[in-house]
Structure 1
Amino acid sequence: MKDNNDGTTDVFAIWEYDSYEDYEEIETKVRSDKMHVRRIHDWYEKHGGKEYVLREYIIEMKNEELLCTVK
């Protein structure tokens, strides 16, 4: 996390996968896990609903692939 000293904080996370296909497979499994989906839904509801959280607390979200530049 990085405090921007303007009332906002950058939060970021990086995951490493062996391949993009592995990422897609894992992401599909996570999104199809009913217990996981329920926990996420309940968390959003506890905090005012998904739309409220995204509107009031999230300025920008990115899901980007990072590529190695070392050869």
Structure 2
Amino acid sequence: MEWLIDDQRIQKYAIEIWSERDAEGQAIGRKKIDEFPAVTARRVRLNILSSTSEAHIREFQLYDWSHGEGQ
């Protein structure tokens, strides 16, 4: 999630997973949810690739949805 006090700023980002694959997306806004196959990772990083100004990240979370949504 981004703080949207001064509008959305992030245009492109990458989720870097210290494992076998990374995920990439565009725009985050109020509540962006990306889905990708389950992996085991030692570290995860949100890398802002493009923004209109300084990024203001409100929250960054990871979930295991393999047992059903939200469980």
Taking structure 2 as the reference length, the TM-score comes to: 0.31
> Of Structure 1 and Structure 2, which has the larger fraction of its residues in helix?
1
Q: Which has the higher strand share?
A: 2
| TM-score between the two structures when normalised by the length of structure 1 | 0.31
Q: Which has the higher contact order (CA 8 A, sep 6+)?
A: 2
